[in-house]
A and B are shown apart, each in its own frame.
Chain A
Amino acid sequence: MPDFLAGLCDPDTLQMLAEGTLDTLYMTLASTFFAYVFGMIMAVVLVVCRADGIRPCPGLYKVLDVVVNLTRSFPFLILMIAVIPLTRFLVGTTIGNNATVVPLVIAAAPFVARLIESSLLEVDHGIVEAAQSMGASTFQIIFRVLIPEALPSLINGSAIASTTILGYSAMSGAVGGGGLGKLAIMYGYNRYQTDIMFATCVLLILIVQILQEIGNRLSRRCDKRLV
């Protein structure tokens, strides 16, 4: 082992890294989950209401479209600071893992909405028409046609979303968030502890690789077009 990594053998350091990893995973997965709850609703509304959608509603579409673009144009670090009052209202504090989830969800939901929207739009319009010709209602088309048909693409999208959210969560270490991002900033940046910096980088890379790989495999496995 190179000299500069010797410090990592210390049990306290190892435990700190392990906790950081768990915190990061927690923030990432919790935020991804909530981002999907809100993002899915927004995406479905966007897809259904667009001009050539199954229930065109140009007004609602335009409003939501602008809202999504607006939120997407905030750099995450600034968004996090901007929503501090909301975070305090919802979680009661502005530091720690739970507090980080609030801005993460706000930042990620519109991004997720765009990902889901593009997945849902990939579904062949002919299939939607076929369902309409069978007398399917709007809800049936959404839940029995659009989402199931787009599932492989949605799973792929969720791998992209969770890795992006992981990146955001690391950034949150700068303003009170926990996890690997905090370790990197506290030890790597403020105290020049290259070993810890190195370890957090490796861990982040591993997590991203694993999430992406899980997404790819799940997506491939459930895609009946590939059997």
Chain B
Amino acid sequence: MAEPVIEIKGLGKSFKSKNGPVVALRDINLTVEKGDIFGIIGMSGAGKSTLVRCINLLERPTEGAVIFDGQDMCRLSSAELNRARRSMGMIFQQFNLLMQRSAEANVRFPMEISGVPHAKAKRRARELLELVGLGERAHYYPSQLSGGQKQRVAIARALSTEPKVLLCDEATSALDPSTTASILNLLRDINRRLGVTVVIITHEMSVIEQICNRVAIISESRIAECGTVEEVFSNPRTDAARRLVLPEGRRAGHIKADRLYRIVFNGSSSLNPVIADMILECKAPVNIIHADMRDMDGKAFGQMVVQLPEDQEICARMLGFMEARGLAMWEIPPGSCIDCDPEDYDYEQERGRHA
């Protein structure tokens, strides 16, 4: 059993406003285990940023507890809290580098405030900049660096006090897709090589797909769902999860057609061209009505809706072909909504039907 690093118990946070208190989080229970890359995803305004800021008490929770490394963060004195925060690095969407300090001096900063001798801090800063691939840019100022480079400096800075946990608050949201991928790879690398537990807040499903092993979906101030990424992606149980896993804009709506089958890819098959194989094997075409696939670590996740040929025999062969590859094909009753509108599609019902 892995050991928990962060335990969030019954956490609630409300803000005062002119129109009375606004609840940002209610009854949040989460456990982040050592070595996790834990994703917290939600639509904007769901409270995910508030949640991560409650972990290191940038926001003070109004109820519940945050247990980090065995101590309740909310009960610490301000000096103890500062010490605990040194074991938690944090990176931000806007990087938040000190603009008047060079990259190296930025990385030295947390060590300066925790009293590390200058020479040692300088050495470690150089090492960390090497680690994030910016060894050559130690003397550059943030204004001379690109967004991705700034985030790398911020990561090096967050790691300088050898934290147990790295909190990432929308760390890639201000970056373009390829820079995002390189930053995510760096985070995964850090997680693997240095054993730093990573907590990632994001609104992008792709970020979760690429590096997280566990995910919590936060919706309307609550945790809607929490589990391994595979569980949540292959079988989203709540509306909020389905909205994220099956994004909008892909509604096929009601299709009046017969012989529609749904194939769910739950990560058990690799990205082999199964459908193409099936067509070649059975020598009959299928009509692909809808497909929503993701590649996660080389495994296929998602679903596809196909219309099989009229010929009963070929149909049966195709069903057999897929079954042999561990992929169930579920018939969709004619006239029913084939996916794709997470709002009114009842997964449980379908599962029940096919159980």
Chain B CB within 10 Å, residue with most, of A135, A144, A226: A135
Instruction: Label chain A's interface by main secondary structure.
Output: helix
* B100: A residues at CB distance < 8 A: 148-149, 151-152, 222-225
Q: Would A136 and B82 count as touching, CB distance under 8 A?
A: yes
Q: Would B143 and A127 count as touching, CB distance under 8 A?
A: no
* A149: B residues at CB distance < 8 A: 98-100
Question: Is B144 an interface position by the 8 A CB rule?
Answer: yes
Q: Would A134 and B110 count as touching, CB distance under 8 A?
A: yes
* B82: A residues at CB distance < 8 A: 135-137
With A225-B143, A227-B141, A227-B143 as contacts: A134 and B99 at CB distance below 8 Å: no
Chain A residue nearest to B140 in the complex (CB): A227
A225–B101 Cα gap in the complex (Å)?
A: 9
Question: Is A130 an interface position by the 8 A CB rule?
Answer: yes
Question: Is A2 an interface position by the 8 A CB rule?
Answer: no
Q: Would B86 and A127 count as touching, CB distance under 8 A?
A: no
Question: Is A124 an interface position by the 8 A CB rule?
Answer: yes
Interface residues of A (CB under 8 A from B): 124, 126-127, 129-137, 140, 144-145, 148-149, 151-152, 222-227
The 4 A-B residue pairs whose C-beta atoms are closest, nearest first, are A135-B82, A135-B85, A130-B96, A133-B90
Q: Would A134 and B143 count as touching, CB distance under 8 A?
A: no
Q: Interface digits, B93-119 against A, CB 8 Å rule (1 contact, 0 not)?
A: 010111111100000011011100000
Chain B CB within 10 Å, residue with most, of A129, A145, A152, A224: A224
A145–B97 Cα gap in the complex (Å)?
A: 10
Q: Show 7 A/B contacts (Cβ-Cβ < 8 Å), sorted by A.
A: A130-B92, A130-B97, A133-B56, A135-B110, A145-B98, A222-B100, A224-B141
A137–B80 Cα gap in the complex (Å)?
A: 11
What's the least CB distance linking A161 to chain B, in Å? 21
A227–B101 Cα gap in the complex (Å)?
A: 12
A151–B98 Cα gap in the complex (Å)?
A: 12
What's the least CB distance linking B49 to chain A, in Å? 11
What's the least CB distance linking B229 to chain A, in Å? 26
Question: Is B232 an interface position by the 8 A CB rule?
Answer: no
* B112: A residues at CB distance < 8 A: 144
Q: Would A126 and B94 count as touching, CB distance under 8 A?
A: yes
A133–B109 Cα gap in the complex (Å)?
A: 12
* B96: A residues at CB distance < 8 A: 124, 126-127, 129-130
* B167: A residues at CB distance < 8 A: 133
A177–B19 Cα gap in the complex (Å)?
A: 56
* A132: B residues at CB distance < 8 A: 58, 85
* A127: B residues at CB distance < 8 A: 96-99
Chain B contacts with A in 114-155, Cβ cutoff 8 A: 114, 141-144, 154
* B102: A residues at CB distance < 8 A: 224
With A149-B99, A224-B99 as contacts: A130 and B141 at CB distance below 8 Å: no
Known: A130-B154, A135-B161, A222-B100; 10 extra A-B contacts, CB below 8 A, are A124-B96, A133-B58, A134-B109, A136-B113, A137-B79, A149-B100, A224-B141, A224-B142, A225-B99, A227-B144
Q: Would A129 and B58 count as touching, CB distance under 8 A?
A: yes
* A136: B residues at CB distance < 8 A: 82, 113
Determine which of A126, A135, A225 lies in contact with B84 in the assembled complex, contact meaning CB atoms within 8 Å. A135
Chain A residue nearest to B83 in the complex (CB): A135
A149–B82 Cα gap in the complex (Å)?
A: 21
Q: Would B143 and A140 count as touching, CB distance under 8 A?
A: no
A26–B302 Cα gap in the complex (Å)?
A: 77
* B141: A residues at CB distance < 8 A: 224-225, 227
A61–B84 Cα gap in the complex (Å)?
A: 30
Q: Would B99 and A135 count as touching, CB distance under 8 A?
A: no
A223–B143 Cα gap in the complex (Å)?
A: 10
Chain B residue nearest to A149 in the complex (CB): B100
Question: Is B54 an interface position by the 8 A CB rule?
Answer: no
Question: Is B88 an interface position by the 8 A CB rule?
Answer: yes
What's the least CB distance linking B279 to chain A, in Å? 53
A140–B79 Cα gap in the complex (Å)?
A: 12
What's the least CB distance linking B156 to chain A, in Å? 13
What's the least CB distance linking B146 to chain A, in Å? 15
With A130-B92, A227-B144 as contacts: A135 and B86 at CB distance below 8 Å: yes
Q: Interface digits, B41-67 against A, CB 8 Å rule (1 contact, 0 not)?
A: 000000000000000101000000000
Chain B residue nearest to A130 in the complex (CB): B96
What's the least CB distance linking B7 to chain A, in Å? 20
With A130-B96, A140-B113 as contacts: A224 and B143 at CB distance below 8 Å: yes
Chain B contacts with A in 275-318, Cβ cutoff 8 A: none
Chain A residue nearest to B90 in the complex (CB): A133
With A135-B83, A227-B141 as contacts: A126 and B99 at CB distance below 8 Å: no
A224–B139 Cα gap in the complex (Å)?
A: 11
A134–B94 Cα gap in the complex (Å)?
A: 16
Q: Interface digits, B239-280 against A, CB 8 Å rule (1 contact, 0 not)?
A: 000000000000000000000000000000000000000000
Chain B residue nearest to A223 in the complex (CB): B100
Chain B residue nearest to A136 in the complex (CB): B113
* B113: A residues at CB distance < 8 A: 131, 134-137, 140, 144
A104–B110 Cα gap in the complex (Å)?
A: 41
Q: Would B85 and A134 count as touching, CB distance under 8 A?
A: yes
Q: Would A126 and B92 count as touching, CB distance under 8 A?
A: yes
Determine which of B97, B114, B142, B154 lies in contact with A135 in the assembled complex, contact meaning CB atoms within 8 Å. B114
Chain B residue nearest to A134 in the complex (CB): B110
